Amino acid sequence: MKIKLPIFIVFTLLILLNFSCKSDKNKSSITTNEKVKPNILFILADDFGYKDTSVMGSEYYETPNIDKIANQGMNFTNGYANCQVCSPSRASILTGKNTARHGITDWIGAAVGEKWRNKKRYNKLLPADYNHQLNLSYTTLPEALKTQGYKTFFTGKWHLGGEGSSPEDHGFDINKGGWESGSPKGGYFSPWINPTLPNTKKGENLSMRLADETINFMKQNKDTTFFAFLSFYAVHGPIQTTQEKWQKYQQKAQELGVAEQGFKMGHFLPIKQQQDNPIYAGLVETMDDAIGKVMNSLKEMGLDDNTIVVFTSDNGGVSSGDSFSTSNLPLRGGKGYQFEGGIREPYFIKVPGLANGQINTTPVTGSDFYPTLLELVGADLLPEEHQDGVSLVPILKGETIAKRPLIWHYPHYGNQGGEPSSIIREGKWKLIHYYEDGHKELYDLENDIEEANNIAENNPDTVKYLDEKLFNYLNEVGARFPVKDDEYNAELEKKYLESVIKNQWPNLEKQRLKFLSDDFKPNDTWWDSKTTVD
């Protein structure tokens, strides 16, 4: 027997059922929106200079994919690494602490104390000791993100310790290629030497491999929330590229015009003044190609609208020492130096819906990434951890942050020619304290980005104010300092510098022209890769 309900009851039930369905749908949507946090893709280049991108003014290098990150996000034109060499800066990104506080003040493996004499540089000071691995007691950025439900991934250069201080020991669930070495052992074409990144096919390009590892991780975790840290070995020496890219940039250098002289003498070593190295340019473009591949993959997976992308470098471009690869002009110096060329970097943050295509001149550093990313994903800040970093979210929202000093501490001699020094920047003023003789240099960076005019003598009050603030901080955090070398011999140092001018400088000029010659042939350990980017 069929049961017949009055018509008004039927209509009432239909209305209630429709409302219930809408309510459940809205509830599901709200719950989803509350649950979803943005993914994070952090891209860190090695030894990549302030002017090594097209967007920052290079007419020689071509970096359309890196440029796109800058143009779609916020470009911090006063963005800094926390040190002029790699390991200290990398530690600061992961901890939110300045180098003097976390104690890694030189690249891990650098000689200290009396061992520095073995370098036969005959300097006045013995470099200070430093911590040789990242402190396990710190809560690192990936560890903080794991508490928010993030799956964490690292690929590429680590250089923050070996066994017992690997990426896995500091919060990364997966590690592909990170170990104690700071350079690409074996070069940029497989077979390379890396215990955590097995060789799979001969001639494979290292930068593209790291991109592929990142893409594989993102695909496997696209339905979760992830933090992917893509840490290129590029563009660290030994610099290598394919024959096709070398030829492209060899011709481009000729078209732009090859300068008669490519270097000028610095305090200890010649410093490159031209962007005209076709091998380095090819290495840069390949890294950019790899970044483009990762960014395209994000878009194909539909994740680009919910992924924060950061791009920066760990120190300035190598204008001296190492491979003498690039010029950072108009910035003075490069990697290892206390000048702007050693510490000012490309510094781009792309956040969907925020600060698209904007430029900001606020001075910021690598230690600011930690609190910035925490706030962007809705996590509580950890001020007891990121003690020297501040969140840049107000800036990304069009507001400002409080004025503060930025501090660097490098009580070492750089392989590239830098000097033991400490730096403080506040507003437009930059003060450099030199440990060899205690003298100080003061620069007005708003009007003298080249650091050509030391105005310390004319501004004694500013010098005193900044110097006191600098050393109050260094003493507070227990910074270590270089000491006088009792065996210093001024005559031996003079002979060393004369040899650099007489022999090394001319040889560098010859090498520069050789790289640009039509009959250039590289070392047998590379150039055998004809692989094109797919």
pLDDT tens-digit map of 506-516:
999 999 999 99
Question: What would the two tokens of residue 517 be?
Answer: 């010659």
The DSSP secondary structure of 301-318, one letter per residue, reads: TT-GGGEEEEEEESS---
Residue 44's SS3 state is strand
Does an H or E element contain 349, and which?
strand 347-350
Higher pLDDT, 510 or 355: 510
Strands 263-265 vs 270-272: parallel, antiparallel or unpaired = antiparallel
SS (H, E, C) 439-507: CEEEEECCCCCCCCCCCCCCCHHHHHHHHHHHHHHHHHCCCCCCEECCCCCHHHHHHHHHHHHHHHHHH
Residue 533 in this model has a pLDDT that exceeds 50: no
Check residue 325 and give its pLDDT.
Answer: 96
pTM over 0.85: yes
390: left (phi over 0), alpha (psi -120 to 50) or beta: beta
pLDDT tens-digit map of 159-203:
999 999 999 999 999 999 999 999 999 999 999 999 999 999 999
Strands 174-176 vs 151-156: parallel, antiparallel or unpaired = parallel
Residue 351 in this model has a pLDDT that exceeds 60: yes
Residue 243 in this model has a pLDDT that exceeds 60: yes
Contact (Cβ atoms closer than 8 angstroms) between residue 347 and residue 79: yes
Strands 347-350 vs 74-76: parallel, antiparallel or unpaired = antiparallel
Report which of 105, 250, 283 is spatially closest to residue 184, judged by C-alpha positions: 283
The Cα–Cα gap between 309 and 346 comes to 13
- Average pLDDT value for residue range 330-337: 97
Residue 490 in this model has a pLDDT that exceeds 80: yes
Check residue 111 and give its pLDDT.
Answer: 96
Contact (Cβ atoms closer than 8 angstroms) between residue 269 and residue 82: no
Contact (Cβ atoms closer than 8 angstroms) between residue 385 and residue 397: no
Check residue 526 and give its pLDDT.
Answer: 63
Strand order through the sheet with 151-156: 174-176, 151-156, 226-231, 39-45, 307-313, 347-350, 74-76, 358-360
The Cα–Cα gap between 515 and 527 comes to 14
Contact (Cβ atoms closer than 8 angstroms) between residue 381 and residue 145: no
Architecture of domain 38-402+502-515: 3-Layer(aba) Sandwich (3.40)
Q: Which amino acid is at 10?
A: V
Task: List C-alpha distances in Å: 243 to 210, 326, 347, 380.
Answer: 21, 19, 31, 50
Q: Which amino acid is at 428?
A: K
Higher pLDDT, 29 or 248: 248
The residue whose two tokens read 């890219």 is: 245
Confidence of residue 530 (pLDDT cuts 50, 70, 90): very low
For residue 407, the cross-strand partners are 424
Check residue 525 and give its pLDDT.
Answer: 60
Residue 31's SS3 state is helix
Q: Which of 169-173, 227-231, 351-355, 374-378 has the lowest mean pLDDT?
A: 351-355
For residue 154, the cross-strand partners are 175, 229
Check residue 29 and give its pLDDT.
Answer: 26
Q: Which of 21-25, 302-306, 379-383, 452-456 has the lowest mean pLDDT?
A: 21-25
Contact (Cβ atoms closer than 8 angstroms) between residue 285 and residue 53: no
Of all residues in the chain, the percent with pLDDT exceeding 90 is: 89
Question: What would the two tokens of residue 205 be?
Answer: 């390009």
Q: Domain boundaries in the chain?
A: 38-402+502-515
Residue 66's SS3 state is helix
The Cα–Cα gap between 231 and 238 comes to 17
Check residue 6 and give its pLDDT.
Answer: 45
Residue 302 in this model has a pLDDT that exceeds 60: yes
For residue 340, the cross-strand partners are none
Report which of 198, 202, 256 is spatially closest to residue 61, judged by C-alpha positions: 256
pLDDT tens-digit map of 402-440:
999 999 999 999 899 999 999 999 999 999 999 999 999
Confidence of residue 528 (pLDDT cuts 50, 70, 90): low
Check residue 521 and give its pLDDT.
Answer: 85
Check residue 68 and give its pLDDT.
Answer: 97
Check residue 376 and give its pLDDT.
Answer: 97
pLDDT tens-digit map of 339-350:
999 999 999 999
Check residue 356 and give its pLDDT.
Answer: 86
Of all residues in the chain, the percent with pLDDT exceeding 70 is: 91
Report which of 279, 277, 194 is spatially closest to residue 231, judged by C-alpha positions: 194
What number of other Cβ atoms are within 10 A of residue 12's Cβ? Answer: 12
Would you give the DSSP letter of residue 351? Answer: B
On the question of a cis peptide bond just before residue 235, with omega within 30 degrees of 0, the verdict is yes
Q: Which amino acid is at 322?
A: D
Contact (Cβ atoms closer than 8 angstroms) between residue 297 and residue 218: yes
pLDDT tens-digit map of 15-70:
333 433 333 333 322 222 344 899 999 999 999 999 999 999 999 999 999 999 99
